[in-house]
């Protein structure tokens, strides 16, 4: 739009520092010694000055612009103005369908790497792309549509698979061409892997396209709308720390993470990097460390359908720190993820001995005091747990009947019942994901390479073969995570989210035996009934309309002998 430029400003074209350039429309500025630097919309007069300057001096040295041209703008602002509006060969106007398609594809591959994406779109700026995408996110979200069209997902999947293959055969030296050339980082592997089920698993008839980015974008597309999803960068910051700590993260996830068990510091790192809290509570009856208000609010958040499926709780959204997910928010949880994903996360998140029960929460980067408090408390509890579990690690087990967990379950069940409509398109069925301690072993005690028969719960449609089809080996899965984590912390985060969340699958629900083990027979039975109900009353919802930002984080890392 050209609305911001008042064409009458042309009359003000002047290089006189005392001209209206210096203060016209000044909506507050900063001083830099030479005067007040103007902020706000650029006038065409300022544009002319800047263009003239660049013509004479070339790009760069933006801080000198003011000195040489008398333009009362900071160098940063000048650079931005030049890059986004004045530089030649800029393509203006709406994105063409082709460009839109490209953006979608690129975003599927790169995530919020606007500058890189812009490099693929001649004449377009990162800002343009970013704005377009954010708008798209809002629009799609509002419409309840998936962010990525299915073809993009499939494409990403194929690339992902090729990339994995390539990495596997070349030792990672030569990844997918795109990955290497364009700095494509790890595609959203875990999600892509799920997408793979689309064509394999009957239980995933139309796995909606979603990726780590998707999830993230759901959360970061706009703080206005997704304020309770951790923005990528902040998560990356947290993750970076852990990645640093895991410099030996060479695929041996277990060893890498187990090393984290060495100290409170590492525990802290885990907490921060994974956005986890470790509210281990020796007293299961007081398991939920969140204040009731937070819980409730978190519920509203996690239920936080922007379409306000629970309007009564809506107002809490703005009052609460982001991402305080209650353990009890069942009604809004998605459906359980398929076993491989669970195991993937299991593989990655090796709860060190003594970590004990871990509640994974998603910590907002914009921690409020409350959240900080919770984190602090979690750290303390974590520390406590490490100490205590050292004494009793051999006997520390997680069982369906475990009091602590059952308390959670009870809460969940109550919540579930309270929600009344557990299978509504946006209040999907729920499950707890249990991250067991020893990776190769699922909660049910089954070795990881022996994929659990998820059909146990769906009773009909879940098969285990796809697991083997997609992940040929444990090494491969580890490899994926290694690659993922090494180059795409946000994807890791997403995987973390994924792992600690539940997966919404159109028309179908997958439940792992791990979950079953946790829930116990009665609950599982109820769950199955509910699933059946879901099937019959399905409205064809998918991830696209699923509230990722809702993802509760009731992930329990339990110890296993």
Partner DNA sequence: AAAATTAACAACCGCCAGAAA
Partner DNA sequence: CTTTCTGGCGGTTGTTAATTT
Closest approach, Cβ 343 to DNA, in A, equals 29
Closest approach, Cβ 126 to DNA, in A, equals 5
Distance between CA 172 and CA 165 in Å, rounded? 9
Place of tokens 């409509």: 421
Q: Binding to DNA (CB under 7 A): which residues in 218-247?
A: 220, 222-224, 231-233, 237
60, 122, 282, 315: residue in contact with DNA (rule CB under 7 A):
60
**Secondary structure of 347-405 as H, E, C letters:** HHCCCCCCCCCCECCCCCCCCCHHHHHHHHHHHHHHHHHHHHHHHHHHHCCCCCCCHHH
**132 contacts DNA (rule: CB under 7 A):** yes
**68 contacts DNA (rule: CB under 7 A):** no
Q: What are phi and psi of 183, to 5 degrees?
A: 70, 20
Closest approach, Cβ 322 to DNA, in A, equals 9
130, 162, 317, 528: residue in contact with DNA (rule CB under 7 A):
130
**CB of 89 within 8 A of CB of 123?**
yes
Kind and range of the H or E element at 36? strand 36-37
Which among 194, 252, 189, 195 is positioned nearest to 480, based on CA atoms?
A: 189
18, 57, 91, 139: residue in contact with DNA (rule CB under 7 A):
139
**55 contacts DNA (rule: CB under 7 A):** no
Closest approach, Cβ 63 to DNA, in A, equals 4
- Label residue 139 exposed, middle or buried (CB < 10 Å: 0-12, 13-18, 19+): exposed
Distance between CA 443 and CA 431 in Å, rounded? 14
If the CB atoms of residues 221 and 298 are measured against DNA, the closer one turns out to be 221
12, 13, 102, 134: residue in contact with DNA (rule CB under 7 A):
134
Closest approach, Cβ 114 to DNA, in A, equals 4
Distance between CA 482 and CA 96 in Å, rounded? 37
x/- contact string, 264-303, with DNA (CB under 7 A)?
A: ----------------------------------------
Closest approach, Cβ 36 to DNA, in A, equals 12
Q: Binding to DNA (CB under 7 A): which residues in 105-124?
A: 112-116
If the CB atoms of residues 235 and 441 are measured against DNA, the closer one turns out to be 235
If the CB atoms of residues 80 and 154 are measured against DNA, the closer one turns out to be 80
Distance between CA 412 and CA 430 in Å, rounded? 9
**Strand-pair category, 30-31 with 36-37:** antiparallel
Q: Binding to DNA (CB under 7 A): which residues in 12-51?
A: 27, 30, 38-42
In degrees, rounded to 5, the angle at the alpha carbon of residue 519 between the alpha carbons of residues 514 and 522 is 130
33, 88, 93, 369: residue in contact with DNA (rule CB under 7 A):
93
Q: What separation in angstroms does the CA of 541 have from each of 22, 221, 238, 388?
A: 54, 21, 33, 45
Phi/psi zone of residue 19: left (φ > 0), alpha (ψ -120 to 50 degrees), beta? beta
**CB of 479 within 8 A of CB of 164?**
yes
45, 66, 70, 85: residue in contact with DNA (rule CB under 7 A):
85
**Secondary structure of 470-499 as H, E, C letters:** HCCCHHHHHHHHHHHHHHCHHHHHHHHHHH
Closest approach, Cβ 33 to DNA, in A, equals 11
Size of the site for DNA (CB under 7 A): 54
56, 94, 420, 521: residue in contact with DNA (rule CB under 7 A):
94
Which among 333, 341, 265, 269 is positioned nearest to 302, based on CA atoms?
A: 333
Closest approach, Cβ 109 to DNA, in A, equals 12
126, 268, 361, 483: residue in contact with DNA (rule CB under 7 A):
126
**487 contacts DNA (rule: CB under 7 A):** no
Q: Which stretch binds DNA (CB under 7 A): 70-78, 331-339, 479-487, 495-503?
A: 70-78
Q: Which stretch binds DNA (CB under 7 A): 133-141, 166-174, 242-250, 372-380?
A: 133-141
Distance between CA 43 and CA 11 in Å, rounded? 10
**CB of 322 within 8 A of CB of 301?**
yes
Which residues of this chain interact with DNA, rule CB under 7 A?
A: 1-5, 27, 30, 38-42, 60-64, 73, 75-77, 79-81, 83-85, 93-94, 112-116, 126-128, 130-132, 134-136, 138-139, 142, 220, 222-224, 231-233, 237
């Amino acid at each position: 739009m050209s609305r911001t430029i008042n064409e009458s400003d042309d009359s003000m074209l002047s290089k006189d520092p005392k001209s209206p350039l210096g203060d016209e429309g000044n909506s507050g500025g900063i001083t830099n010694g030479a005067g007040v630097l103007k902020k706000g919309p650029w006038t065409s007069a300022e544009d002319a000055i800047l263009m003239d300057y660049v013509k004479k001096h070339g790009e760069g040295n933006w801080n000198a612009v003011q000195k040489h041209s008398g333009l009362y703008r900071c160098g940063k602002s000048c650079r931005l103005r030049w890059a986004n509006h004045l530089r030649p060969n800029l393509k203006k106007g709406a994105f063409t369908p082709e460009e839109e398609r490209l953006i979608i594809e690129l975003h599927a591959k790169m995530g919020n790497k606007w500058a890189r994406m812009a490099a693929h779109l001649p004449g377009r700026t990162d800002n343009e792309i970013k704005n377009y995408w954010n708008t798209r996110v809002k629009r799609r979200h509002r419409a309840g549509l998936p962010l990525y069209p299915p073809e993009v997902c499939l494409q990403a999947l194929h690339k992902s698979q090729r990339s994995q293959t390539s990495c596997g055969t070349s030792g990672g030296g030569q990844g997918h061409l795109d990955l290497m050339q364009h700095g494509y980082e790890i595609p959203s592997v875990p999600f892509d892997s799920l997408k793979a089920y689309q064509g394999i698993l009957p239980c995933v008839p139309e796995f909606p396209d979603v990726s780590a980015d998707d999830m993230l974008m759901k959360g970061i597309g706009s703080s206005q709308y997704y304020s309770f999803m951790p923005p990528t960068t902040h998560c990356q910051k947290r993750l970076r720390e852990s990645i640093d700590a895991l410099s030996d993260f060479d695929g041996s996830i277990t060893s890498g993470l187990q090393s984290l068990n060495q100290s409170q510091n590492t525990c802290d790192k885990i907490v921060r990097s994974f956005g986890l809290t470790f509210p281990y509570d020796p007293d299961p009856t007081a398991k939920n460390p969140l204040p009731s208000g937070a819980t409730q609010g978190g519920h509203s958040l996690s239920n936080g359908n922007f379409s306000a499926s629970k309007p009564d709780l809506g107002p809490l959204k703005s009052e609460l720190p982001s991402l305080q997910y209650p353990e009890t928010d069942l009604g809004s949880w998605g459906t359980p993820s398929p076993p491989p994903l669970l195991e993937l996360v299991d593989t990655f998140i090796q709860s060190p001995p003594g970590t004990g029960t871990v509640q994974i929460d998603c910590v907002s980067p914009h921690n409020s005091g409350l959240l900080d408090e919770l984190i602090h408390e979690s750290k303390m509890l974590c520390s406590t747990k490490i100490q205590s579990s050292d004494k009793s690690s051999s006997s520390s087990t997680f069982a369906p009947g475990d009091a602590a967990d059952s308390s959670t379950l009870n809460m969940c069940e109550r919540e579930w019942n309270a929600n009344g409509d557990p299978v509504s398109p946006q209040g999907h069925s729920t499950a707890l994901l249990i991250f067991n301690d020893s990776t190769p072993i699922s909660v049910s005690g089954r070795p990881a390479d022996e994929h659990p028969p998820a059909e146990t719960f769906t009773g009909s449609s879940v098969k285990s073969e796809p697991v083997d089809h997609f992940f040929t080996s444990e090494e491969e899965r580890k490899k994926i995570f290694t690659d993922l984590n090494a180059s795409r912390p946000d994807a890791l985060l997403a995987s973390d989210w994924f792992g600690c969340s539940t997966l919404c699958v159109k028309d179908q629900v997958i439940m792992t035996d791990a979950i079953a083990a946790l829930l116990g027979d009665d609950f599982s039975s109820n769950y199955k009934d509910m699933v059946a109900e879901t099937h019959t009353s399905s409205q064809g919802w998918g991830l696209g309309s699923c509230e990722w930002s809702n993802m509760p984080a009731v992930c329990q890392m339990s110890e296993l002998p």
